[in-house]
Every structure is written in structure tokens, then in C-alpha cells.
Amino acid sequence: MSKKILMAHGAGGKLSAELLHEIILPAFDNEILQELHDGAKIGKLAMTTDSYVVRPIFFRGGDIGKLSICGTVNDLAVTGAVPKYISAGVILEEGFDFDDLKKIVGSMASAAHEAGVKIVTGDTKVVGRGQADGIFINTAGIGELIDGVDISAKKICAGMKILVSGTIGDHATAILAGRHGLELPENIKSDCAPLNKMIYEMLAAEPKIAMLRDATRGGIAAVLNEIAQAANVGILLDEEKIPVREEVSGVCDILGFDVLELANEGKIIAIVPAESAEKILSIMRKNIYGKDAAEIGEVVKNSAGKVGLKTSLGSVRIVDMPAGELVPRIC
């Protein structure tokens, strides 16, 4: 591992994993942290925290404020909890525009209202010009775990189906467009959204869902590699079943990106019993944020710890953990 922190250490790929396993976990190791989920389960509660440093702070489909609330809500929901309360810490750069701050705070309030959570405490700090890129937001969230639900990699076994709640790569593509002045169709915007109500409906119908993950930094490639390694199983995806907008595929082709590695802010991965897959898909598709949900693969006995992709040509390629910084400052 590099002796200096690189931007790629925060990208959710191989260097992020090295940072976590070589420095963070040895210092803080405990049985709760070892679960390495999007949130921690503590008794009957779940807790999560995250920091948001996206650039640009306003983008098609949302802004840093909406992102901070939705991200926190979703991280709690995928642990099997009902999100309840959020704290918000805001770091402002001297000279930041009051009107922009009002818009961001308004977005936070709207997202919290939609998700049914309360922002109950927080903090504000101001730093000098050039020290915060305008605004950074840190959040923490608390939720109540749903009785009878146990989201854990230990529950995953061969034969289970892998579902995704909709088209992938939309958020990263919207950020790229805003950052570089790319002209894209109006339907290409960030998928940033609170998914807790859809997830609750899924878990109410099938408490035996084994795993839920919020596919943010590193995209579904990073999330599925983490799951495969934690559960010591193989995962095989079907390229033709993965929902991707044509315009997003076009951007990937032009810029040389792998859509599986692009960040999402309103999509979840679910690993479910095979016999429940169609029922859960039906529930997801009835929700506005899951209308494009699809079954994209399955858990397999061989190739433990690895993720494979059956391509449209019939071959199988390895989907590795993202190696570097695909798109910086994405969330």
C-alpha cells in the first residue's frame, strides 16, 4: 500500500479495502465492526455514518444535501432497520453563498420528509477559503431493526438469486455530465432517492432476504466482490440481464468506463432465496424507485470469493474489485 493517501483510497475499490484492512480494522477491531456492512447493528438498533464531498454540489437529479440524507437512510435500511433519526454536521468554506446553503438545507428537509426521518441534531463549522471546496456534510443515522430480519453475509448460500432495483450507473453519469459540461438527454439524472419504504415492503414480504447493499462507490462490482469475499461464495452475473440505459452505456464506451464500477445513489443489490425472487421483484417494481428492477445473476458453489460475468458472447470474465479512482468526488 502507498505510504501516502491517494484520492483512490476513497473510491471504494482495492485501495479503499487495503486502507480498511491494514490500518482501520486493526486499530478498532470488534465484533460489531467485523460485520462490515453499510451500518452497524447494536442490540435492537442500527447506526451508520457517512461524509459527503461530491463535486459539483448541484447536479441533475439532486444536490449534496439530498444525497446526504438519502445515503444515510439507505445505509440504515439495507441493514434491516427502519430509519428514524439523523444528525447533520456541515463544514462551510468562507465565502459560500447563502442562497446555495438555503437550497441545500431545503433539499435535506425534503428528502428527510419523504423518507419519514427527523434531523434531530447537528453542528456547523466554517473554514478558510480553499479549505472545503464550498461545503462538506457529515451525517449519522439511527434506526430500529425489524424483528425477524437478519441481513448478513453468513446467510448467503448457493442457488440464491441476485436482484438489482433498477438501471445502474445513472448517478455517476449525471455527475460526469455536470462536471464536464456534457449534454445528455433529460432522462439521464442522478438516481439519488430514499429507498427505505421499498426495502421495508420487501422485508415484510420476505424476512429471509439474506443480503441487501447500497451500491454506491465502486458500483455493483465493488459491492458484489465484498459480498462474495465475506460470504466465501461465487457470484455469476448475466450481462444481458443487467439494466443499463443506452445513454449510460454510450458514455462508458466513449470514456472507457466499466458500467459495473459506476456509482449509484438510489439502487440496491438484494440476494434472496430463489423461490422468493419473483415475489420480491414484483414488490420492487410496484415502487417508483424499483420499476426497472431485475434479476441479474445467482450465487454459485464454485469460484468462492470471485465474481464472474457471463457476457453477451457467451464467455465468462472475472469482475474484479475496482482498482483505482474511476470518477473522483462522486458522493
What gap in Å lies between CA 80 and CA 75, rounded to an integer? 9
**pLDDT tens digits, 307-320:** 999 998 989 999 99
Q: Give the SS3 label for residue 208.
A: coil
Find the helix packing angle between 64-77 and 196-205, rounded to 10°. Answer: 10
**pLDDT tens digits, 122-176:** 999 999 999 989 999 999 999 999 999 999 999 999 999 999 999 999 999 988 8
The string of DSSP codes covering 75-111 is HHHTTTEEEEEEEEEEEEETT--HHHHHHHHHHHHHH
Determine the length of the chain: 331
What gap in Å lies between CA 285 and CA 298, rounded to an integer? 19
Strand 118-127 with 81-93, pairing? parallel
Q: How confident is the model at residue 245 (pLDDT cuts 50, 70, 90)?
A: very high
The answer to whether domain 31-145 has CATH 3.30.1330.10 is yes
pLDDT of res. 331: 80
What gap in Å lies between CA 293 and CA 282, rounded to an integer? 9
Strand 234-238 with 307-310, pairing? parallel
Order the strands of the 118-127 sheet from edge to edge.
Answer: 40-42, 45-52, 135-145, 81-93, 118-127
Q: Give the SS3 label for residue 46.
A: strand
Q: How confident is the model at residue 328 (pLDDT cuts 50, 70, 90)?
A: low
CATH architecture group of domain 153-318: Alpha-Beta Complex (3.90)
- CATH 3.90.650.10 domain span(s) along the chain: 153-318
CA dist 47 to 76, 142, 151, 176, 313, Å?
7, 5, 14, 31, 43
Cell numbers 486502507 correspond to what residue?
19
Residue 329 has pLDDT above 80, yes or no: no
